[in-house]
Chain A
Amino acid sequence: MQDPSERSTAEPLEFREVTKRYPGSAEPAVDGLSLEVPAGEICVLVGPSGCGKTTAMRMVNRMIDITSGDILLGGRSVRERKPEELRRHIGYVIQQVGLFPHRTVGENVATVPGLLGWDKARIAARVDELLDLVGLDPHVMRDRYPAQLSGGQRQRIGVARALAVDPPVMLMDEPFGAIDPINRERLQNEFLRLQAELRKTIVFVTHDIDEAIKMGDRIAVMQVGGRLAQYAPPAELLMAPASEFVEDFVGADRALKRLALQRVRDIDLWSVATCRVGEPTAAVRERLTEADLDIPLLVDDRQRPVGWLSDRALLGERAREELRSRADPIVELDDILRDALSDLLASESLYGPVVDADGRTVGVLSIQVISHAIGSAPAEVPGATELAASEAAAHAEAGAEAEAQAAAEADDE
């Protein structure tokens, strides 16, 4: 329904030496904050309570006045715009959602279009479009009241309402904070999919570093006193925390957290010798010498993994179906590395076959491959993480052979 010409593009956002001082308090709430958010990216403000992250966010739409410095939206100072007019063009999502209980879902979503004086037909069409966008059936939902919705549905309506006039910028204050962990994960994923399509410039506030790593294109870690401790993409933040504060804040498991940022397809997998039942064993042996793993993988006629062959399987002329173990777990190329590692650990395996979207075997993921991936940073960084990284790399190389051997022995038992 929407005319493409009126679809606004995302705008860059810039904090320029922004300070907020409340009268009567010695410490500023936000202290000289400078950062740039490129158009279409999610900037997560994260930090402990009292670090000024929400204050910083609320200065963007002038819910809180700036004491000194400036915030530029699309190159234009927010200070020279009328607060109401400015806010109508900035999406606003808060933790408690703030749906109006006395208005239906449709009326809630229509709030800002109504304020901007859109005509009825255009509003109605836009409401249905938005409900569709957030995965709710307009015919079922439109006339319900917020009290008749689940927490997750309310949150989706909150997002739809914020997107109503397709604002170039969105502010989200702990938007998934009040949702239970299972639904939070789902809503986060949904929102990331939505964002991949909409490409809004988003300021996202959270106190949860894991959420920050998951949602952020860039993360601004703030510390008490309203100072910016570090502003970096998630991987860089985890690889090279700029200070002890950041290092503590991202947590001792930051190497593990980095696994959440990579997918199996992003790393170099081991090659594997595949083998079908009845194949000449000589050919399989030939392939085994070239493979990274010295255990052949039995596959079916569509290259789907079946299991790891035992030594006896290749004793004859033709390969027989004698397994030392099932192919478990089977990892997919699109799996997040952290989840893949978890699968390996759960099934007490040191390696597992990797399949593509059609289920065909493309390689092997092993614990060694993963630890090597942790060690080789996407960005070359010296400093705090160097030790951990080089340790992991050394371990991966030196220990690979011994461990593969040990694994084979373990599997034999």
Chain B
Amino acid sequence: MSLTPVIAQGGGFVRDRTGESSCVSENGFCPDWIWDNLDRYVTPTWEHLYLTVISVGLGFAIAVALGLLAHRRRWLVGPITWVTSVLYTIPSPAAFLLLLPLTGRGNVTAIVALTAYTQVIIFRNVVNGLANVPADAVDAATGMGMAPTQRLFRVEVPLAMPEILAGLRIAAATTVGLAAFAFLAGAGGLGKQIAAQITFRSNVVVAGGLATLMAAGLDLLVLGFQRAVTPWQRAAS
């Protein structure tokens, strides 16, 4: 009986089932097996985290830069929103495969695609966040003699921070999910682990669970950062 999926040929491993318990041979949820095989997930988890953090970090930097640019040149908001939205609508497996001829197999392809997916979310939150800064605070900042750049970094960006970081949280969670397809570009990650034994429940639960934990962990991390940098948000009487 051949369970090996075609995609696993890209570097996945085939489980040797000889001598395993009946739970394993029945593809069940087997705590013993999980405990004995946890080390198999270390590398994929690190790969997954690496792809996510690099892509979200890069995506955040690019989207914030685009957002600040579009804040000063309002006419750019429409075109940038349009382009990033189009990128977002490309089905992710297709994106990884489409990029292969351009960037080759490996992390670069995965990171390019994942970064592109973060753009629409973060960009929109940056632009909306800056637009939602109270007009009177901006007027007061200008009236007291802040130069445009001083005003941007001392008043507008800090006040847009909750919305910008909300975008970052969504982008991080989304990217953890999308990175599960990064193995299609040959970048490994937990998705590769899942695909290698997609019918083995224990494997899917562990790999899927690790991805979920990662998403939750990153979310908490950003949330913690947000609370640390916006103490004023909790000061409402």
Is A98 a contact of B232 with CB atoms below 8 Å? no
Cβ A92 vs Cβ B134 within 8 A: no
Q: Mark B207-222, 1 if CB is under 8 A from A, else 0.
A: 0000000000000000
Interface pair A147/B235, CB less than 8 Å apart: yes
Please indicate the chain A residues that have their CB under 8 angstroms from the CB of B36 in the complex: none
Q: Which of A61, A86, A101, A115 contacts B146 (CB 8 A)?
A: A115
Instruction: Tell me, rounded to whole Å, the shortest Cβ–Cβ distance linking A175 to chain B.
Output: 12
Q: Report chain B residues within 8 Å CB of A148.
A: 235-237
| B134, B139, B145 — most chain A CB neighbours (10 Å) | B145
Query: Closest CB-CB distance, B183 to chain A, in whole Å?
Result: 43
Asked if residues A102 and B139 are in contact (CB atoms below 8 Å), the reply is no
- The chain A residue with its CB closest to the CB of B162 is A102
- Chain B, interface residues (CB within 8 Å), range: 20 to 34
| Given A101-B159, A144-B235, A147-B236, A94-B136 contact (CB < 8 Å) | yes
Digitize A91-129: 1 where CB-to-B-CB distance is under 8 Å, 0 elsewhere: 010111111111110000001100100000000000000
Inter-subunit contact A115/B150 (CB<8 Å): yes
Q: Which of B183-237 contact A (CB under 8 A)?
A: 230-232, 235-237
B144 contacts partner chain A, Cβ-Cβ < 8 Å: yes
Q: Does A63 contact B (CB under 8 A)?
A: yes
**Shortest distance between the CB of A11 and any CB in chain B (Å):** 17
- Would you give the 0/1 interface string for B116-158, flagging 1 where the beta carbon is closer than 8 Å to chain A? 0000000000000000001011111111111100100001001
How many angstroms between the C-alpha atoms of A161 and B236 in the bound complex?
21
A162 and B144 alpha carbons, distance in the complex (Å)? 8
B137 engages A147 (CB within 8 Å): no
Contact among B137, B143, B144, B237 for A101, CB-based, below 8 A: B137
Closest chain B residue, CB of each to CB of A164:
B144
- Other-chain residue from A86, A101, A145 in contact with B134 (beta carbon distance below 8 A): A101
Q: Is the CB of B143 within 8 A of A94?
A: yes
Which residues of chain A come closer than 8 Å to B136, judged between CB atoms?
94-98
Q: Which residues of B contact A104 (CB under 8 A)?
A: 232
Residue pair B144, A147 in contact (C-beta under 8 Å): no
**CB-based contact B235/A84 at 8 Å:** no
Chain B residues near A103 (CB, 8 Å)?
Answer: 232
Q: With A115-B150, A147-B237 known to touch, is A61 a contact of B143 (CB < 8 Å)? A: yes
- Name the distance in Å between B162's Cβ and chain A's nearest Cβ: 10
Residues of A within 8 A of B146 (CB): 84, 111, 115
CB-CB under 8 A from A145, the residues of chain B are 231-232, 235
Distance in Å from the Cβ of A103 to the closest Cβ of chain B? 7
Chain A residues near B231 (CB, 8 Å)? 145
A287 in contact (CB, < 8 A)? no
- State the CA gap A101–B236 with chains docked (Å): 10
Which of B137, B143, B158 is most buried by chain A, counting CB atoms within 10 A of its CB? B143
Say yes or no: A87-B145 contact (C-beta < 8 A), given A98-B136, A145-B232.
yes
Per the 8 Å Cβ criterion, residues 50-64 of A in contact with B are: 61, 63
Interface: A338 (CB within 8 A): no
Interface flag for A290 (CB, 8 Å): no
- Residues of chain B within 8 A (CB-CB) of A97 are 136, 140
Which residues of A sit under 8 angstroms from B145, Cβ to Cβ?
83-89, 112, 115
A101 to chain B, nearest CB (A): 6
Residues 170-194 of A contacting B (Cβ, < 8 Å): 171
- Complex contact A115–B144 (CB within 8 A): yes
Complex CA gap A102/B163 in Å reads 14
Shortest beta-carbon distance, A58 to chain B, in Å?
8
Q: With A61-B143, A85-B145, A88-B145 in contact, is A99–B236 under 8 Å at CB?
A: no
- Going nearest first, the 6 A-B pairs with the smallest beta carbon separation are A98-B140, A88-B145, A87-B145, A96-B136, A145-B235, A92-B143
Q: Which B residues fall within an 8 A CB radius of A?
A: 134, 136-147, 150, 155, 158-159, 161, 230-232, 235-237
Can you name 16 A-B pairs with beta carbons within 8 Å?
Answer: A84-B145, A88-B145, A92-B140, A92-B144, A94-B136, A96-B136, A98-B134, A99-B140, A100-B137, A100-B140, A100-B159, A111-B141, A111-B144, A148-B235, A148-B237, A171-B143
A residues near B (Cβ < 8 Å) are 61, 63, 83-89, 92, 94-104, 111-112, 115, 144-145, 147-149, 161-162, 171
